[in-house]
Amino acid sequence: MQQIINGISLGSLYALVAIGYTMVYGILRLINFAHGDLLMVAAYAAIYAVTLLSLPWQISFPLVMVLTGLFGIFLDRVAYKPLRDAPRISLLISAIGASFLLENLAIVLIGGVPKGFPRPEAFAKVIDLWGLRIQVLTVYTPILTLVLLMGLLYIVHRTKVGKAMRAASKDFETTRLMGINLDRIIAVTFFLGSSLAAAGGIMWAMKYPQVNPFMGVIPGLKAFIAAVLGGIGNIAGAVVGGFVLGLGEILIVALFPQMAQYRDAFAFTVLILVLLFRPTGIMGEPITDKT
């Protein structure tokens, strides 16, 4: 039981990050390799907001989300926008380059030594829930994820921008012909995806209160796998994939403790199996070959 709650908590973190991957992929058909590093950027930003500017966390965390969102737009403008008409392989290489640049800049500017995260007391408490001893954070994470997800679904399905986003992911060219400003839509997509990644990054940093320049790599990769698992381009799929992956990882370690050191390999094995047997993921539509 305890493990299931842990799994859901971890899964919701993966889900938050996976949504960003899936949204960007849906529109640009690009794996944003630097997406995982936004977790790291957000975590550092939150540290500085709390310690240097001494803002209370209630203000600084939403602020960090907005800033990371803007950073996502900036990333797109600098690294991806000049390559809109270039071959896909160039775009991917640019994304990998951006990811490494962020990590190494963080090493140079901040240093490779892990920093502690100033975790607000309210999240660190341990409560007794029906006989289970659980950190409050573990309960809050899925709840917050749900709230953010509701907000996102509202934007995507009930607003004009959301309609344009859905249209762009169906057919990029026709959407442009319909007089929709695609650059704006892409910017909004990057903003939303990056802010969700920031929320994920902050919660990740509270869960494992150590921030280092490479902290985003592994969660980023796993979130991507979650997105593929759920069917890439599909927001609900990303959430399902995140939960499946999070639960799977925790349960494997809980049920077979001797497998603990293989934990990181689990996600990739899942990925290879999914691609072998059901390349479109759990909830994906068949991939049409758009070249």
Partner 1 sequence: METSTRNTLCNIVLLAVLAVVLYVFEKHGTEYQIRILNNMAIFITLAVSYNLVNGFCGILHLGPNAFITIGAYTSALLTMSPAEKQLSFIIEPLIWPLSVMQVPFAVSLIAAGLTATIFAFLISFPVFRVRGDYLAIVTLGFGEVIRVLCNAMQSLTNGPLGLKGLTPYTTLWWSWGVAVFTVVVITKLVNSSYGRAMKAIREDETAAKAMGVDPFRHLLLAFLISAFFSGVAGGLLAHLITTISPTLFTFFLTFNLLIIIVVGGLGSTSGAVIAAALFAWGGEALRVVESPMNLGFITLPGIPGMRMVLFSIILMVVILFARRGIMGRSELSWNRVFAALRLQTKA
In the complex, which residues of this chain contact partner 1 (CB under 8 A)? Answer: 25, 29-31, 79, 82-83, 86-90, 92-94, 96-98, 100-101, 104-105, 107-108, 112, 221, 224-225, 228, 261-262, 264-265, 267-269, 271-272, 275-276, 279, 289, 291
In three state form, how does the secondary structure of the chain look?
A: CHHHHHHHHHHHHHHHHHHHHHHHHHHHCCCCCCHHHHHHHHHHHHHHHHHCCCCCHHHHHHHHHHHHHHHHHHHHHHHHHHHCCCCHHHHHHHHHHHHHHHHHHHHHHHCCCCEECCCCHHHHCEEEECCEEEEHHHHHHHHHHHHHHHHHHHHHHHCHHHHHHHHHHHCHHHHHHCCCCHHHHHHHHHHHHHHHHHHHHHHHHHHCCEECCCCCHHHHHHHHHHHHHHCCCCHHHHHHHHHHHHHHHHHHHHHCHHHHHHHHHHHHHHHHHHHHHCCCCCCCCCCCCCC
User: What is the identity of the amino acid at 73?
Assistant: I
Closest distance to partner 1 from the beta carbon of 182 (Å): 20
Closest distance to partner 1 from the beta carbon of 84 (Å): 12
C-beta closer to partner 1: residue 70 or 101: 101
Closest distance to partner 1 from the beta carbon of 63 (Å): 27
C-beta closer to partner 1: residue 137 or 250: 250
Closest distance to partner 1 from the beta carbon of 88 (Å): 6
C-beta closer to partner 1: residue 96 or 132: 96
C-beta closer to partner 1: residue 130 or 277: 277
C-beta closer to partner 1: residue 114 or 209: 114
C-beta closer to partner 1: residue 101 or 254: 101
User: What is the identity of the amino acid at 141?
Assistant: T
Closest distance to partner 1 from the beta carbon of 281 (Å): 11
Which among 190, 189, 197, 195 is positioned nearest to 164, based on CA atoms? 189
Distance from the Cα of residue 254 to its chain's centroid:
25
Closest distance to partner 1 from the beta carbon of 56 (Å): 33
Closest distance to partner 1 from the beta carbon of 4 (Å): 25
C-beta closer to partner 1: residue 57 or 80: 80
